[in-house]
């Protein structure tokens, strides 16, 4: 199992756990709905921020690897050209 799937599963589990806890707590329905809405928004913002950070890092790493591959390809081409002469 990849760490990304684990982290995402843990976050979803935490959100579900909090919402179940709010639902079984003794309170008026209106207050419970407000709490669920507020907590859901907070968790959604948190997960969105973490996913954005993850994808930003992933994009940077892919770009770094792509640049390195380009450098290696240019070196290889130069060596092939040198040997061909």
Q: What is the pLDDT of residue 61?
A: 93
pLDDT in tens, 30-59: 887 788 788 888 888 888 888 889 899 999
Q: What is the pLDDT of residue 1?
A: 56
Q: What is the pLDDT of residue 74?
A: 92
Domain ranges of the chain: 3-84
Per the CB < 8 A criterion, the answer to whether 63 and 43 are in contact is no
Q: What is the pLDDT of residue 14?
A: 82
pLDDT in tens, 60-83: 999 999 999 999 999 999 988 888
Dihedral in degrees, nearest 10, Cα atoms 14, 29, 37, 7: 10
Overall pTM > 0.75: no
């Amino acid at each position: 199992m990849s760490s990304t799937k684990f982290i995402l599963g843990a976050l979803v589990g935490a959100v579900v756990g909090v919402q179940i806890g709010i639902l079984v707590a003794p309170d008026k329905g209106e207050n419970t709905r407000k709490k669920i809405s507020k907590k859901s928004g907070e968790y959604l913002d948190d997960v969105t921020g973490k996913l954005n950070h993850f994808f930003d890092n992933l994009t940077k790493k892919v770009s770094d690897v792509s640049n390195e591959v380009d450098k290696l390809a240019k070196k290889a081409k130069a060596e092939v050209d040198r040997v061909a002469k």
